[in-house]
Structure 1
């Protein structure tokens, strides 16, 4: 009996101590913990997985490696060298860098890279990711603690769940998104302050930060803010109406303050493939409720990249699954609030699956391998409901906890039975045990009088442990990239480019890139670009010229001597393991690179072309024809490539019928290595054989000459140099057909490159070259001597931001091939100047200055009003 009383006394003392600890925890302590705990977890992940500076790895996976790091390199060099942010020739033949900056690089956190060496750039960006995730926990802590009457450990638990959800773990390599996600809780805090206290300053400045750092995620936040406002519990219709006016005003003011980037970004987006085709898709459903539920139970398998658009990162803690049931059953929460939040959850579930809603949430764009990018907003709603449950924990009954637990288990069972993307059994097992554990803790909480704080504290501790463990396992699932594997040549390239400087403008490229935008990583002017700001016109023309292209990329793969001359490619850099057939000649080696030089002389960034270039037939799926017609129309040189006849293919497991010259429609049921085999008979000696093929569902090509394999793999969609083929030889091209549909098209063409015609072309073009006197990233000055009225072509993407003056007078620019910059010029010698200002920048900075002035005036007025109110009291 005495022992039992001692146990009760001990339990009572522990409960009192826990209560005292929570009471002593002030808001500032909770906010600090919300920052430092995620920081410690992320630091631990970096140590465990060898992320720099604790190893050789980087958090920048997928596009973080292939796009963002190269772009960071450009930014680093520009900031260090004091160069303009308007334009860059480092990739894409020249790009509107401000447009790219506004999407990828505008975060103030990026200034931290200046404290690191170029070779430490991966480490710097990984540390920025860690810092932004920690700050996301802090901002969530600020938001929920500002609303809480009962400051406690639950605030830290909820903040950590926000910072380390599967969304953040899976998508953290999209470093440019994290600022908007980080500031989002402050935006919501500011919105509620605007409604309750008629003070929109915090909302305005927080939304401005989101719009400035990443307009894409900020767009999703704006949609959510409107929905949240409409569902808010207003005191009267009058309040709803007048606060709505203020809400709209401050929203537009925030956009106005960010106009210096938003307007140039919008002008840039309009030029991209997705920007020109913003049409709503047809109504259809991507996935099922069961599959979406599965994603809420996916503890340690976050999505980092998935071509299935119906997938989503929805896991934000198994404890959050209980939140909906507990929220709905809690008698202390208003029925109207319950209806609104449940409807909001339903809207998200519908948006994750329904094509039209999904398309709208993504800024009227397709997802391209990173599905449901707005799902962090769904997680916020769940955490908000969980926070309300903890605020009204006294309203939770024992049967509420039991019902919510059983409902969670039932949902998990339904997801496992009905889902098409079922998780592993051990995931369901762990999730089920966690559900039961959380349910039991809440159940015991409702029964206890003296130990409530113990059960609440244990609940929070278990939840935090769950978050930490799943974060570690999630990063393990993601994997990391080896910095030394991809960036080992940084210093060697710096030395090589420095040694090759000769004061002239030229371009260089890599024979084969380790990462897609590797050319941008190095300080070279280059051809290829993979990025969301790639213009649709350039993708199209580069595709027509025979280069490898995608929806937002055009790469150097597919270059010919003609395009190398046209685009002023002087040097090629080879990694030690590279092999590329080319007419470039070896110059020297620099560390890990072998350097080759284009033997052609007289190349330039611009050339005088015949006015008949306006009739250039560039819109063709056959690049040999496109380059032939360019030579004819621009310079009067015929037949650079001589077409070689190809016989109809032999088929195996499929049928093929000719629909055009070299084009076939096929149907197949069985995917075989030799579904289609083309034979190209060589009737005379060929010095420079080129092939080009592309098609839907085509994989694993094998190209052989007289039975010897010369090229293989996924090599479709760009010009392929094969080399010499003697008369009587037989070239075979074999395709495997494989894809989502059982039919499609394939095109194959072959040609012999005429060296004599190319020699004639070089002689003519060299006499028409634009002579560059001075150049920088946004300014090119030089002279040209036209024998007659001609068109001055520049191998620069057409952009309205280029202002061209001829002999001091502004000239009207136009598009050549619907993509390159051109200007008509009269006969005689002329001084020509090109200067670039991003379209929309001039208007943008003026709107920004005006909006910022209005905001400062409002801040002064509101501050003065509050001072008068204080003095009045």
Structure 2
């Protein structure tokens, strides 16, 4: 018996492992080849987060505040959303340079494990360990969601947990057992709270479905079962407070709290064109940000699903129950209002219909019910179902072909809908052949093997259709360039003082990526204090402050080092700039900045940013920090401006003279540097290697005072005769102030990798200590062992008051909500154990009485 059980579950695992291995090997992906999947968010975000997690696990130094997240930020929201999968513990067996390999192996293992949990669900529901179940585990593990989003590896754990949640619900209703359900919900939320939330909604839908099947709502003890289910659900949810409370505290500071009424209007999310998703090639990697619901389940499963509703062997009551389950899941994707609610009340920014895997699960489950009812023995039903499946595919592709033409005929701009006629014919052929194999199964059971091969072929073909439009990175190049950059940054860190920041403006890693790599997360990747960040957890107050200082931000999830000036480098403690040029690394060490903390004037408490005035903000800020009214940035003296049309753009020619010796900067908001050309005295100014589509400060060169300049700007933006466009930093005056701040800097003695900043400072007179660390409720400060108040200044930095004398300053960070979360979780776990004990006592007394 144990041997059969082991063979059943290991078979489900190994079959999936073989299929995903074939898929990856055919694409020459690691670990089978030299390609790696550095596209989309896996390359730009998850890779760096996994590298940081591996660093902390290997070193044993787990800390929850990273100075490598832009100017510094709470790392817990990143951990809770991206990194709590137990599979990530395997990262300790990989070197940092091999994390792309580890990511692919994690994906393979997760997809294989989906087969095991789905096999367990099918065994529990149908009460048989049939080899046939493997057919449905393949369809589930390689459903459209997996093929479309496999590289979003933190979501894959939800597909492992979904069958366990379903079994847990069954145990609650059928056996009055609650442990599996409680832990399946709890772990689903912990592993990934976002899709775990969706599984909570699914559990309610599935509870109603199983309740309808078992006639629960007509039984005498219905309210007892419902009450215990609800109590178990609430306790499971509350037990995850250790994750949810600190995550909520962190996420409230991001852009994910925005509200848009249009996301709640009851509009349709898709039309008949979504039917193409039922076939091979329904969407591709290029369409990952916008497409229909990914509900591919293979032709065999689709035919069986349709046959369930066409068969006379299935009662109308069973059909109605399944229509309820599928209907509510379908409506949740189709209607914008419900779709937004399922996605935690936020419209997804790309990667739509993230709940589609639940619909696929339900479809596969109903198809397995059809198999159990013996619909494959009904020749007429299988024939009709095959025809209906083919018609659905035809309708989908016909809509995709006709829709652009209809819109164009109505006088609107034509739209381009990508589809492949080749995949249409392949999908149609697979449906016809699958229907034929199901019919032949009546004559010869050996056709089951061919059906297995057919389902596997479709799973591979659909997976490959998604990857066909994806470009891959080069693993050998990644490893080589990772080692080179890591070595140079180790040297730079060793030369710098603790508490200084480093900019990586261009690295050799760019060569390893298949698409433009903008080094946003290099600070996390190499554990350095930086400025830039690309993450959905980006603190919006930090982002707004940096934008107001002239830094470039592509969207609410990204902030770049680009747009800084000598003044902002001094303010934020930027000491080095590292870049690769002509295959060699160059280190620029000319910033000579203070550390992360330095003494400033009390006027810092009164300073307020003004939106869209970066250079003016910097000038007024430096005046406030110095306690004077000196002019550090000086507008250029404009003598003339000429404008003429060149093609579909305007050419502006400015004649001007600088009013200070030092760097000259240009700032206009908004301004698209990617579509503009700027010349100074005939020499074109190079803009950032990244595409700057909005405002950012641009360095035009160093010039002496009264230097006559001709600046030409070719752009599609309307410009005027405004001297504030061009401003020179009075370098002599500025350097004097920087020297003063350097001499009054906090001498940091901690390595900033233990959620602590420790340092000493000598204060000549009572002054605020400005800390270029984003303000956060998690920070507490003490001076000479006595707790002091932290003030929020300069929009989102921190300052503390210091008295005259020699002081030791210590900042400690504790994740807001984490202690309370632990307290709530521990209390609720105790409550759940008490709940189980009470149930046991009550049930025992009832049995004794009866």
Taking structure 2 as the reference length, the TM-score comes to 0.87
1:186 maps to which of 156, 161, 164 = 164
Task: Report the counterpart of residue 427 of structure 2 in structure 1.
Answer: 431
After TM superposition, give the deviation of residue 707 of structure 1 in Å. 3.8
1:784 pairs with one of 739, 744, 761:
761
Alignment of 1:445-484 (within 5 A): 448=442, 451=443, 453-484=445-476
The secondary structure found in structure 1 opposite 2:538 is coil
Q: CA deviation at 1:696?
A: 8.0
2:495 matches 1:495: no
| Post-superposition CA distance 1:673-692 (Å, at most 9, x none) | 74343333223487422123
> What SS does the corresponding residue of 1:805 show, helix, strand or coil?
strand
The match for 2:503 is 509
Match status 1:250 vs 2:250: no
- Counting only pairs closer than 5 Å after superposition, residues 391-430 of structure 1 correspond to structure 2 as 391-394=372-375, 397-419=378-400, 420=403, 421=417, 423-430=419-426
Aligned to 1:540: 544
Query: Residue deviations 1:69-120, cap 9 Å, x none?
Result: 1112222222222213321222222221222211111112111111122222
Deviation of 1:207 after TM superposition, in Å, equals: 1.7
Cα deviation digits, residues 308-336 of structure 1 (max 9, x gap): 3x533222213333244212122333423
Match in the other structure for 1:678: 652
Counterpart contact for 1:645–1:680, Cα < 8 Å: no
Count the aligned residue pairs. 808
Q: Rate the CA distance shift 1:102–1:871 in 2: closer, same or farther, 3 A.
A: same
Cα 1:817/1:312, change in 2 over 3 Å? farther
Q: Please give the alpha-carbon distance, in whole angstroms, between the structure 2 residues aligned to 1:317 and 1:634.
A: 66
The one-character-per-residue Cα deviations of 1:531-578 (angstroms, maximum 9, x if unpaired) are 121111111111111112221221211121111111111222112349
Aligned to 1:36: 14
In the alignment, structure 1 residue 847 sits paired with structure 2 residue 828: no
Deviations 1:409-453 (A, max 9, x none): 2222222222343621111111112222223334455xx4xx263
Contact 1:27-1:145 at 8 Å conserved across structures:
no
- Sort the Cα spacing of 1:24 and 1:271 in 2 relative to 1 into closer, same or farther, 3 A: closer
Whether 1:107 aligns to 2:82 is no
Distance 1:806 1:872, change over 3 A: same
* Kept in 1: contact 2:289–2:349 (CA 8 A): yes
* Match for residue 691 of structure 1 among 666, 681, 685: 666
Superposition deviation, residue 66 in structure 1: 0.9
Quickly say closer, same or farther: Cα 1:71–1:394, change in 2 above 3 A.
closer
Contact conserved, 1:537 with 1:819, CA < 8 A, in 2?
yes
Alignment CA distance shift 1:396-1:719 (3 Å): farther
Name which of structure 1's ranges 626-635 and 252-261 shifts more when overlaid on structure 2. Answer: 252-261
Assess if the C-alpha contact under 8 Å between 1:416 and 1:422 holds in 2: no
Equivalent position of 1:818 in the other structure: 795
Deviation of the 1:408 alpha carbon: 1.9
Q: CA deviation at 1:59?
A: 3.1
Q: State the Cα deviation string for residues 816-867 of structure 1 (Å, max 9, x = none).
A: 1331122334444433211011001111122233334445566678899999
Q: Distance in 1 between matches of 2:345 and 2:642?
A: 42
For 1:870 and 1:137, how far apart are their aligned partners in 2? 39
- The DSSP-based 3-state class of the residue aligned with 2:617 is helix
Aligned counterpart, 1:768: 744
Q: Relative to structure 1, is the Cα distance of residues 818 and 722 closer, same or farther in structure 2, using a 3 angstrom cutoff?
A: same
SS of the residue 1:533 aligns to: coil
Please report how far the alpha carbon of residue 270 of structure 1 lies from its aligned counterpart in structure 2 after TM superposition.
Answer: 0.9
For structure 1, which segment, 291-300 or 423-432, has the greater mean C-alpha deviation from structure 2 after superposition? 291-300
Matches within 5 A, 1:50-69: 50-69=28-47
- Are the structure 2 counterparts of residues 70 and 487 from structure 1 closer, same or farther at C-alpha, using a change threshold of 3 Å? farther
Displacement of 1:650 in angstroms is 4.5
Distance 2:642 2:392 in 1: 54
Q: CA RMSD in A?
A: 3.4
1:465-491 CA deviation, whole Å, 9 max, x = no partner?
Answer: 222333344334434322344453333
Structure 2 Cα separation of the partners of residues 40 and 744 of structure 1 = 61
SS of equivalent residue, structure 1 residue 799: coil
Q: What does residue 409 of structure 2 align with?
A: none
Q: Does the CA-based 8 Å contact 2:566-2:591 persist in structure 1?
A: no
- Inter-partner Cα distance in structure 2 for 1:213 and 1:400: 42
Instruction: Classify 1:815/1:746 alpha carbon distance in 2 versus 1 (closer, same or farther; 3 Å).
Output: farther
- Give the drift of 1:733: 2.2
- TM-score of the superposed pair, with normalisation by structure 1: 0.85
Among residues 658, 667, 675, which one is paired with 1:700 in the alignment?
A: 675
Alignment of 1:551-700 (within 5 A): 551-577=556-582, 593-600=585-592, 603-636=594-627, 638-644=630-636, 650=643, 674-684=648-658, 687-695=662-670, 699-700=674-675
- Secondary structure at 1:406's aligned position in 2? helix
SS in 1 for 2:506: coil
Aligned-partner SS, 2:799: strand
1:662 corresponding residue in structure 2: none
Q: In 1, Cα distance between the equivalents of 2:719 and 2:236? A: 49
Determine if contact 1:171/1:304 at 8 Å carries over to the other structure: no
The answer on whether the counterparts of 1:606 and 1:769 sit within 8 Å (CA) in structure 2 is yes
- 8 Å contact kept, 1:289–1:349: no
Does 2:143 correspond to 1:168?
A: no
Tell me what 1:241 maps to.
Answer: 223
User: How much does 1:221 deviate?
Assistant: 1.4
Q: In 2 relative to 1, CA 573–280 (structure 1 residues): closer, same or farther, beyond 3 Å?
A: same
8 Å CA contact 2:76–2:246 kept in 1: the answer is: yes
Separation (CA, whole Å) in 1 of partners of 2:746 and 2:261: 42
Asked if residue 390 in structure 1 is aligned to residue 371 in structure 2, the reply is: yes
When structure 1 is superposed on structure 2, of 343-352 and 242-251 the one drifting more is 343-352
Describe the shift of the 1:816–1:334 C-alpha distance in structure 2 as closer, same or farther (beyond 3 A): farther
Distance 1:363 1:27, change over 3 A: same
Answer yes or no: is the 8 Å Cα contact 1:91–1:520 preserved in 2. yes
What is the CA–CA distance in structure 2 between the aligned matches of 1:608 and 1:553, rounded to whole Å? 30
Cα offset for 1:621?
A: 0.9
List runs of 5+ in structure 2 lacking aligned partners.
404-416, 511-516
Query: 1:297 corresponds to which residue?
Result: 279
Indicate the larger mover: 720-729 or 551-560: 720-729
Q: Distance in 2 between matches of 1:856 and 1:49?
A: 49
SS in 2 for 1:722: strand
What corresponds to 1:329 in structure 2?
Answer: 310
Indicate the SS of the match to 1:299.
coil
